[in-house]
Chains A and B, each alone.
Chain A
């Protein structure tokens, strides 16, 4: 039985244990750094500590993502805040030598640079700080306090109201008000309800949810359990893509630990609230992130969307009322309950509250993971936090929202980043992928890339998306090859209009967005590739042997 006091005891024990160590070296073991062998760095640091007999004085702690993935492997000395980049296993001795002396200049990464200073962390507050393998670390950082607080001192409807008050909107792409969704499920009848965490994260270039799950898995579990309490569900599923083995492993450990401490399972914290969580692995189909396809997939069927209504909140898993939220949405819940909806609502803009995690990628100096308050400008993200464009090239556009989003040109760089402003200029917030494009890339090529993605990820159920994405892709190819005429662009636009208005699910509905937004802001690039309008604008058919 876990009470608030138990949590506090665990927290203070943990803090004490930590303070016993004079130095604490945090090594990132999230996927980005692991891919540049941070696991070897961790091992050699641990060996070096052992060899020198410094156990108990120097702690080598695996932690989650610190954000600046492009500089990995990253190692931070916690007490001094000194940050090292591109660390190799051979550097272990030198780093240990430096602990009571001067930092290793050769490896230093400026932790005061705008990349770190300009961020504001709620979702990622523990990422890169706590050991994701240890529930005690999470508890020491205030973890599970919100759950215990909700269970012991709030009515379910009060929890829902707190979420409504926070103004939180879904982070999975649609931006639907989270509190409203929770209250729909809470009010729905039925003997059984479910909570589902959408960790399918299929957009190319997006890795926000992966980082959260790898770095701070308990935070998501806690959010789900609070949601279960608020809505009256006793079963939760995390639908996660099988390509995320590390996140899966961390989640599995976390679930086991939480159950052992009565923070999941039956009679949580000695109350009458039961909530169990299981994982369901997806096979990496983008469309399975769409909520009705995801439900079909969990049920063991073919991962294809179905028409809505009914919405999952009315009829979801096995026909029962089901709450589906994104990883990052759940990751915001515990802080909202702990610190109050009003606190959360004080961050961000009028209609977009809180922060947003973005995965910065493309032609930008600092690629990695960032969290910023809603309403910062794109310019701040790209040029301050992101450090601008490398190689002396000029900025051209930033792509947000992945295959469902659009490209934003330079003249809109000072626009605040929030759901509504982005939509206004033809893009979307999306789940948080942000790809910077410089002058060396062709925008038509960018549009083709995303269309290719949509075409190969279309589930094939409805005709507009199944066949329309194929034809739009073919036309983009034709334009890029220089064989197209103005008539082809007109046909492309007609297809965009038709596919977005007639497709069954969000994949098809938004698939034309990258084309439409590049046509809107970079039409000249398309026109520059067209054949001069010769005669009736018909291009030559391929000669024998071709095509």
Chain B
């Protein structure tokens, strides 16, 4: 039996969900016999595969870059999983949503800058008007709330998906855990 192609993507999040993923520790080794980690900030591969079986997304959609990335990922993924509160609710990134983008940029790059205050025009991708949950941009198949979801929860969810089941997470995680 061929191994399932699993990818993880990091959008606007603190990387806590990926840390939690790594927290699976020795269970990762067990998973390794069933999955190929084909794309992830945790591995070196630069290109997203033609078709991943499962992609876990951490983070909200906050910039033009995030938007482009998630659309591409969606097109090349069978089961898309929103992992963690930022992907699911847009969580902390959304706390800027009550302010205009310009005000947010000024605060970050001018008012709070110690040296050489200037708003970046290149390299840093442009912010969207609001930080939004992944499912507001593309269809999402499975939601794993939690900030971050525990390693147990992630392990359970991935194992269930590999068995072809939709994981029932209601007793394992919630918003804000």
Contacts and interface: CB of A to CB of B under 8 A. Distances in A.
Contacts of A545: 100-102, 129
A487 to B, nearest CB: 9
A546 interface: yes
Contact of A541 (B74, B75, B130): B130
B139 to A, nearest CB: 4
A536 B74 CA distance: 9
A63 B130 CA distance: 60
A541 B139 contact: no
Given A541-B61, A543-B64, A545-B101, A536 B128 contact: no
B137 interface: yes
Given A536-B138, A536-B139, A544 B129 contact: yes
A153 interface: no
A103 B128 CA distance: 71
B126 A541 contact: no
B128 A538 contact: no
A54 B14 CA distance: 92
A547 B98 CA distance: 10
A542 interface: yes
Main secondary structure of the interface of A (DSSP, over half): loop
Interface string A505-547: 0000000000000000000000000000001111001111111
B129 A538 contact: no
Nearest to B104: A544
B127 interface: yes
17 contacts: A535-B74, A535-B138, A536-B138, A537-B139, A538-B136, A538-B137, A538-B138, A538-B139, A541-B132, A542-B129, A543-B128, A543-B129, A544-B64, A545-B102, A546-B129, A547-B129, A547-B130
The 10 lowest CB-CB distance pairs between A and B, nearest first, are A536-B139, A547-B129, A546-B129, A542-B129, A544-B101, A544-B126, A544-B127, A545-B101, A541-B128, A538-B138
A471 to B, nearest CB: 14
A85 B102 CA distance: 59
Contacts of A543: 64, 126, 128-129
A538 B132 CA distance: 13
Nearest to B74: A536
B67 interface: yes
Interface in B47-94: 61, 64, 67, 74-75
Interface size for chain A: under 10, 10 to 19, 20 to 34, or 35 or more residues? 10 to 19
A544 B128 contact: yes
A545 B128 CA distance: 7
Interface of A: 535-538, 541-547
Contacts of B101: 544-545
Contacts of B130: 541-542, 547
Contacts, number: 39
B128 A542 contact: yes
Main secondary structure of the interface of B (DSSP, over half): mixed
Contacts of B75: 535
Contacts of A541: 61, 67, 128-130, 132, 136-137
A538 B80 CA distance: 15
Nearest to A542: B129
Contacts of A542: 128-130
Interface residues of B, number: 18
A544 B66 CA distance: 13
Contacts of B74: 535-536
Contacts of B137: 538, 541
Contacts of B67: 541
Most B CB within 10 A of own CB, among A537, A546, A547: A547
B76 to A, nearest CB: 12
Nearest to A537: B139
Interface in B95-143: 100-102, 126-130, 132, 136-139
Contacts of B138: 535-536, 538
A547 B130 CA distance: 8
Interface in B5-37: none
Contacts of B129: 541-547
B51 to A, nearest CB: 16
A263 B99 CA distance: 64
A546 B100 CA distance: 9
A546 B126 CA distance: 12
Contacts of B128: 541-544
Contacts of B132: 541
Nearest to A545: B101
A474 to B, nearest CB: 13
Nearest to B127: A544
B75 to A, nearest CB: 8
Contacts of A536: 74, 138-139
Most A CB within 10 A of own CB, among B74, B100, B129: B129
A542 B137 CA distance: 11
Contacts of A544: 64, 101, 126-129
A339 to B, nearest CB: 64
A544 B128 CA distance: 4
A269 to B, nearest CB: 66
Given A536-B139, A538-B138, A545-B100, 20 more contacts: A535-B75, A535-B138, A536-B74, A536-B138, A537-B139, A538-B136, A538-B139, A541-B61, A541-B128, A541-B132, A541-B136, A542-B128, A543-B64, A543-B128, A544-B101, A544-B126, A544-B127, A544-B129, A545-B102, A547-B129
Nearest to B67: A541
Interface string B148-173: 00000000000000000000000000
Contacts of B139: 536-538
A411 to B, nearest CB: 38
A464 to B, nearest CB: 21
A432 B174 CA distance: 50
A547 B101 CA distance: 10
A542 B97 CA distance: 12
Contacts of B64: 543-544
B102 to A, nearest CB: 7
A113 B137 CA distance: 59
Nearest to B140: A536
Nearest to B131: A541
A39 B137 CA distance: 61
A547 to B, nearest CB: 4
A41 B101 CA distance: 59
A43 B44 CA distance: 92
A547 B96 CA distance: 13
A543 B129 CA distance: 5
A409 B67 CA distance: 43
Contacts of B127: 544
